[in-house]
Amino acid sequence: MEPLITSLPAEFWTVPYDGSRFPGAAAVTAQSGLAAGANCQLFAYEVLRHFGLTPPELRSSELWSDTEATVHVPVPQPLDLVLFNSTARAYGAHVGVHVGDDAILHLCAEVGHPTVWAGADFAARERYAVRLGAKRVLPRPS
């Protein structure tokens, strides 16, 4: 986990949570970049882009059902996306980035800026109590 976390530029740690800035939203199209804020998905996708991956611009339920750009994985590895929700439904699920061991980097309204939580931290909160699973972004053909 350590190298992955420490190699993120400082500006990733100051991104404010903004639920209106999600993939495909007009607010994102009008003003790009993370400085204006992001929701969990937009933040997670930008983290992956920083490390050279190209995640699809999908909302959580679309991401969960996607089979073209991502694949379900039983055991997450660093840079896999992990989804949580209050129920077993993917619609409206929270998205974070697995960064090693039991650590997940994510951006949520509760904290207001990026943070790293363990699985138990998610399980302790009703809105994240159900871990749906993990998705790995597939390499894009060049």
On the question of pLDDT at 103 being above 70, the answer is yes
On the question of pLDDT at 142 being above 70, the answer is no
Predicted local confidence at residue 115, as pLDDT: 97
C-alpha to C-alpha distance for 109 and 13, rounded to whole angstroms: 14
For the beta carbon of residue 137, count every other beta carbon within 10 angstroms.
21
For residue 115, give both structure tokens.
């943070």
Amino acid letter, residue 73: V
What domains are defined for the chain? 2-137 (3.90.1720.10)
Predicted local confidence at residue 141, as pLDDT: 73
Give the DSSP letter of residue 17.
B
How does residue 123 score in pLDDT terms, banded at 50, 70 and 90? very high
pLDDT in tens, 36-59: 899 999 999 999 999 999 999 999
